[in-house]
């Protein structure tokens, strides 16, 4: 797999075609437009995400590439943010992209590596706190390749039940041995989202595009 994109080559790549140029022009017009429709991506940056997904590409490389090169272009006119959980042992969660209307800021996910545990609960709590304070409608995409650490699955499902008006689409990354498929399905079922499993770069890319606001219009009320 080729190296991940930088800010410059992502933008230069977009400029190559007429349609991409039109996309950039549309971006410029919408960057300052506030939106109350929020898509929050809660992504696993635990150590196991550094394992190979396919020959030549790790799970975290595939995720970063799909977010920067594919999903970002589908976020025009939306407020979105990216929370990483498992960044390191001292920083269990972090806003990799603090909520913004600028799709180009997705490039920031490239700055982080995968090397922590899997504090999924903390990532979800942070997303619920932000949306309850700042948006009236929202949807989450939760991406993970492993079992949650720090809090039990029962605790996570209880919180999902308490915040079930916000749909959570879940994605299991890998061959299915590292994560609990039934648990991720339960999260989605409780909140009205959907579950998908991905085991290749192309599959991850197409799944994120299918879950983007451009193709999936589902939103839930935050209050």
Q: Is pLDDT of 12 > 50?
A: no
Residue bearing the bigger pLDDT, 22 or 105: 105
CATH of the domain at 81: 3.40.50.410
| 35 confidence band (pLDDT: 50, 70, 90) | low
- Whether 15 maps to a domain, the answer reads no
In the three-class reduction of DSSP (H, G, I as helix; E, B as strand; rest coil), residue 68 is classed as: helix
Question: What percentage of the chain reaches a pLDDT higher than 90?
Answer: 63
156 inside domain: yes
Q: How confident is the model at residue 33 (pLDDT cuts 50, 70, 90)?
A: very low
Count structural domains, the chain: 1
In terms of Cβ atoms closer than 10 Å to its own Cβ (0-12, 13-18, 19+), residue 99 is buried
Residue 89's pLDDT is 76
User: In this structure, is residue 11 part of a structural domain?
Assistant: no
Does 22 map to a domain? no
- pLDDT score at 221: 73
Question: Does the pLDDT at position 15 exceed 50?
Answer: no
pLDDT digits (tens, 9 = 90+) for 101-121: 999 999 999 999 888 899 999
Encode pLDDT of 116-165 as tens digits. Answer: 899 999 999 999 999 999 988 999 999 999 999 989 999 999 999 999 99
* Residue 147: inside a domain: yes
Bridge partners, 88 (sequence order): 91
What is the dihedral sign for C-alpha 211, 88, 100, 133?
Answer: positive
Where in the sequence is the domain holding 170, given as residue range(s)? Answer: 44-183+193-221
Which has the higher per-residue pLDDT, 215 or 186? 186
Residue among 71, 67, 59 nearest 172 (CA): 59
Residue 207 lies in a domain: yes
Q: Which of 75, 48, 49 is nearest to 60 (CA)?
A: 49
**What is the mean pLDDT of the segment spanning 75-103?**
90
Q: Is residue 128 part of a domain?
A: yes
């Amino acid at each position: 797999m080729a190296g991940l994109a930088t800010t410059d080559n992502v933008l230069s790549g977009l400029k190559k075609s007429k349609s991409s140029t039109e996309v950039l022009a549309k971006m410029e017009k919408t960057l300052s437009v506030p939106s109350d429709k929020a898509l929050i991506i809660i992504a696993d940056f635990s150590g196991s995400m550094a394992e190979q997904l396919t020959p030549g590409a790790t799970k975290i490389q595939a995720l970063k590439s799909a977010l920067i090169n594919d999903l970002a272009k589908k976020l025009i006119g939306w407020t979105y943010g990216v929370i990483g959980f498992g960044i390191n042992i001292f920083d269990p969660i972090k806003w990799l992209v603090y909520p913004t209307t600028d799709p180009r800021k997705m490039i920031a996910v490239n700055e982080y590596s995968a090397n922590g545990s899997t504090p999924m609960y903390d990532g979800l709590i942070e997303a619920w706190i932000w949306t309850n304070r700042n948006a009236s409608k929202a949807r989450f995409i939760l991406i993970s390749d492993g079992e949650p650490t720090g809090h039990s699955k029962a605790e996570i499902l209880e919180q999902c039940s308490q915040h079930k008006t916000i749909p959570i689409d879940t994605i299991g990354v890998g061959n299915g041995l590292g994560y609990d498929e039934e648990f991720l399905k339960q999260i989605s079922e409780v909140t009205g989202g959907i579950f998908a499993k991905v085991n290749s770069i192309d599959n991850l890319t197409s799944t994120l595009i299918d879950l983007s606001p451009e193709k999936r219009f589902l939103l839930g009320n935050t209050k």
